Amino acid sequence: MSEGTAAGVVRGYLSDNAAGASPEIAAAMTEAAVGLASPCGSDDVSKRVGARMAEVFEHPVDVFPVGTGSAANGIALATLTPPWGSILSHPDGHIANDEAGTPEFFTHGAKITLVDGPNSKITPEALRAAAVYRRGNLHSVQPSVASLTQAAETGSVYTVAEIHELSEIAHEAGLRVHMDGARLANALVALEATPAEMTWQAGVDVLSFGATKNGAMTADAIVSFDPSLRTELSYRHKRGGQLTSKMWFQSAQLDAYLTDDLWLRNARHANGMAERLRARLALHPEIEMLGDPRANIVFCSFPPMLIDGLHGRGFAFHADRWGPGVVHLVTSFAHQPEDIDVLLAAVADILG
């Protein structure tokens, strides 16, 4: 499957990381390429990003730019669990399925334990049981951190109250709370919550802050709300090969991303494109809408001939992961209403 465009139409729905970069971010990179800067994060743009993040989150933060969301997750989780710990993740979790063992690698072997719930979200009941499972038993890994994906892998979102409740359960059991926020902006605009409400005010200790899927080129960040983790995160960030010497390029992306609410505008647009797609797909009786997607993901079931027909016409999306007929389409800031309409026209044509 290709993510390419044909006749100027975006036909790629495999992931939002197939989108290019926002012009504002491309311009910031061009500007950052001129002249000299201090290496390894001691430059002015990196300092400005730290200050901007503190403003956005309304809290002092430590910010560590990284090149991938997997690196953010792995390094953050390694700081929150010992090697004999367990990381509690939903079975759909990116950390459990799509990182080729990055968390296990960075934690030196901590175990990912699956904690279930509908719509890719961990339930309080399941977390309550998992958080104390075999606690103190020398023969078992020790529950150490709960990791919540926001927005979740099938497009649902944890409400602020749900994050609050899960964090409380985790903290009461002595666990830390990590949020995989690869699509944090999409969740924020879906709920119209503030970054503070969705993270530290709801009990999140460390956040993997996504930007690459929503306008940046190659920049995500670890954002820590707990100053006691600063030193350990600093060394793990360096040791994990993420302290790039030309850090100002990643910082320039994050800086532009946060300027004039670009991140929220992009996410609002991406969510709107998914909503446009969902609303019109739902009109076809052959299509069953699944889950509870609220962000920039469409999760539904297509008849096999529709999957084959769309793939045959060059539309790219996952239909091989969630069971027979279940498809997962991701929209981004790069999709335009006309792109969505071309896909919808193809759906109507194939279904007859």
Ligand X SMILES: Cc1ncc(COP(=O)(O)O)c(C=O)c1O
Residues that bind ligand X (CB under 6 A): 15, 17, 68-70, 94, 149, 153, 180, 182, 212
Q: How far apart (Å, rounded) are the C-alpha atoms in residues 135 and 341?
A: 53
Instruction: Please state the closest distance from residue 10 (CB atom) to ligand X, in A.
Output: 18
Residues in contact with 341: Cβ distance below 8 Å, sequence separation at least 6, in sequence order: none
**Residue 348 and residue 352: Cα distance in Å, rounded?**
6
Nearest approach, Cβ of 94 to ligand X (angstroms)? 3
Cβ proximity to ligand X: between 94 and 111 the closer is 94
Q: For residues 58 and 69, give the distance between their C-alpha atoms in angstroms, rounded to a whole number.
A: 23
- Residue nearer to ligand X on the CB measure, 68 or 199: 68
Question: Nearest CA to 337 among 9, 2, 17, 5?
Answer: 9
Closest to ligand X by CB, 69 vs 195, is 69
β-bridge partners, 326: 301
In the bound state with ligand X, the residue whose beta carbon lies nearer, of 68 and 214, is: 68
Q: C-beta of 120: minimal distance to ligand X in Å?
A: 9
Which is closer to ligand X, CB of 89 or CB of 142? 89
Using the minimum distance from each CB to ligand X, give the nearer residue, 189 or 350. 189
CB of 157 to ligand X, least distance (A): 12
Number of Cβ within 10 Å of residue 239's Cβ equals 12
Query: Closest residue (Cβ) to ligand X?
Result: 69
Residue type, 331: T
Residues 301 and 311: their CA atoms lie apart, in Å, by 15
DSSP, collapsed to helix, strand or coil, labels residue 89 as strand
Question: Nearest distance from residue 283's CB to ligand X, in Å?
Answer: 28
Residue 146 forms beta bridges with which residues? 88, 177
Q: Record the tokens describing residue 347, joined without a space.
A: 């759906």
Which of 163/306 has CB closer to ligand X?
163
Distance, in Å, from the CA atom of 120 to the CA atom of 184, rounded to the nearest integer, reads 15
For residue 284, the minimal CB distance to ligand X (Å) is 27
Minimum CB separation of residue 90 from ligand X in Å reads 10
Shortest separation between residue 70's beta carbon and ligand X, angstroms: 3
Q: Which is nearer to ligand X, 220 or 255 (CB)?
A: 220
* 319-350 b/e (C-beta count within 10 Å ≥ 16 → b): beebeebbbbbbbbbbbeeebbebbbebbeeb
Q: How many CB atoms lie within 10 A of CB 351?
A: 15
The full DSSP string for 229-288 is: GHHHHHHHHHHTT---TTHHHHHHHHHHHHGGGHHHHHHHHHHHHHHHHHHHHTT-TT-E
